[in-house]
Structure 1
């Protein structure tokens, strides 16, 4: 059965863009400021997609809320200096967003990253006009895998959940889409391969995001 999405929703980090160098730098710097041990880069990369408070617990094993808040403040301070300049948009993501814009199909970004930071990055790369709605960390009370962010984006777009497609690289993205009632496609620019997505019962990108246009036509 043919399915033509009325809107496309995307995660940000490791789906549309690669901020991993900046994230790893900021995490290491924030932990160092606090006198905490800095884990290997691979461990920090595994935290991408978590909130900053969750990241602190993930990297240190410490659940102290005050320390997590301090980590968040220090991470953001470092990110203010380097995040925009160190973020690289995937070329196929730019091409897809431009094509969707040309077709007048709305696009939303739903991320645990702060909305203002995503806006800064989009302006810096002259891509802001390609995105209709952004729902970031500061816009919701419950983060993925809770569907609140997706549902808010759908409401802002005026699109029903079953009329949209959500693309993300993390299992939390898959879980949020399922909870929202939105079709999901797994991105392969994170830690999960197309074969691993299929093992989870999901459709997946094989090589580049432009494949989404054919997927929509196929249903």
Structure 2
């Protein structure tokens, strides 16, 4: 049995810049002025990991308050959001044919809200979020947990990612990876098995070929 595991931000919905803008606002309230270009370097890390990296002097309780405020901004920005062009083409290609999961660095409340807005929450057998793991991406914990819950061997999973840390996470889990250039140029994603500009480019034959291939 083969499974398909999706990242959410930057794969299902175009929310990466919304994350960066919300983080930027919270950081500014704490005296840290940082351009979006610098925040992009944090990639798909969990918010609390990114804030802790930028503000190591802050205690856990204050970091948690910053994360809560960031998500308050983010929820407001993401109301009425639509799926990234090309996502639904691929989603309908695999849904019902393979076990599918979401593995996101975002908090569960936000992930579930987005999937419910899109009307696809119930289609996913497993949803693993940033607050479900001890270590976020690039650690493989989230992807390994999803595979275990789906009862699928990690080597039989294909991950759909858009970030460098996401690709690293999937690779460390021993999974195959398709990277989509929604967030980063393809030059940053070359460790994936396949890099596409849109998920609509992927055919059944291409997906089956990746399932049958060995990992890099």
**Is TM > 0.5 for Structure 1 vs Structure 2?**
yes
Corresponding position of 2:198: 208
**Distance change >3 Å, CA 172–CA 48, structure 1 → 2:** closer
Corresponding position of 1:72: 67
Contact 1:19–1:86, Cα closer than 8 Å, also in 2? no
Name the TM-score, length of structure 1 as normaliser: 0.83
Corresponding position of 1:109: 102
Residue 19 of structure 1: how far off its partner (Å): 0.7
Where structure 1 has 5 or more consecutive residues not aligned to the other structure, the ranges are none
Pairing partner for 1:27 from 19, 23, 28:
23
Where structure 2 has 5 or more consecutive residues not aligned to the other structure, the ranges are 211-216
What CA distance in whole angstroms lies between the structure 2 residues aligned with 1:214 and 1:197?
Answer: 22
Residue 189 of structure 1: how far off its partner (Å): 1.1
Residue 122 of structure 1: how far off its partner (Å): 1.1
**Distance change >3 Å, CA 91–CA 132, structure 1 → 2:** farther
What CA distance in whole angstroms lies between the structure 1 residues aligned with 2:124 and 2:84?
Answer: 15
User: Does 2:143 align with 1:147?
Assistant: no
Residue 76 of structure 1: how far off its partner (Å): 2.3
Residue 178 of structure 1: how far off its partner (Å): 2.2
Corresponding position of 1:85: 79
Residue 57 of structure 1: how far off its partner (Å): 4.5
What CA distance in whole angstroms lies between the structure 1 residues aligned with 2:161 and 2:203?
Answer: 12
Summarize deviations over 1:119-160 as a string: whole Å, max 9, x none.
111111222233221100111111122211111101111111
Corresponding position of 1:13: 9
RMSD: 2.3
Secondary structure in 2 matching 1:177: helix
Contact 1:22–1:87, Cα closer than 8 Å, also in 2? no
- Alignment length (residue pairs): 207
Pairing partner for 1:47 from 42, 45, 49:
42
Residue 212 of structure 1: how far off its partner (Å): 5.7
What CA distance in whole angstroms lies between the structure 2 residues aligned with 1:206 and 1:178?
Answer: 17
**Distance change >3 Å, CA 176–CA 63, structure 1 → 2:** same
Corresponding position of 1:197: 189
Residue 53 of structure 1: how far off its partner (Å): 2.3
Summarize deviations over 1:166-218 as a string: whole Å, max 9, x none.
1212222222222211112222112131x4433x4x32233321316332222
Contact 2:45–2:165, Cα closer than 8 Å, also in 1? no
Residue 92 of structure 1: how far off its partner (Å): 0.9
Name the TM-score, length of structure 2 as normaliser: 0.84
Residue 38 of structure 1: how far off its partner (Å): 2.7
Residue 83 of structure 1: how far off its partner (Å): 4.3
Contact 2:140–2:170, Cα closer than 8 Å, also in 1? yes
